[in-house]
Amino acid sequence: MDFKELQNKVVQNAINYGKKYNVQIDEDFALLKLYEEVGELAQAVLIHRKKSRPEKYVSEEISKKELGKELADVVGMAIINAHLLGIDLEEAIDKKWINKEK
């Protein structure tokens, strides 16, 4: 799957979520949801590194799966934010990370 196809599927998933739960997927929602997901990623990292309450500890395998899920949520919400802001994220990543624009 190429990046544009991935973006389209993520955006469609968000649209479907909004319809299913009667939630307006707008810029405010997307930005706040991104913050929420970053917080959940931080929590997953703390649990993975055993820097949380011991009752939250899980196996290495489970904590890696949780890290992956939370990273996927962060990336997904970044894609949704880019879409709502009219930003070509593939182009932005290319210019920022690959073919650095000065």
List the chain domain ranges.
3-98
Q: How confident is the model at residue 48 (pLDDT cuts 50, 70, 90)?
A: very high
Would the pLDDT of 19 be above 70?
yes
Q: Which pTM does this prediction carry?
A: 0.92
DSSP state of 54: G
CATH class of 3-98: mainly alpha
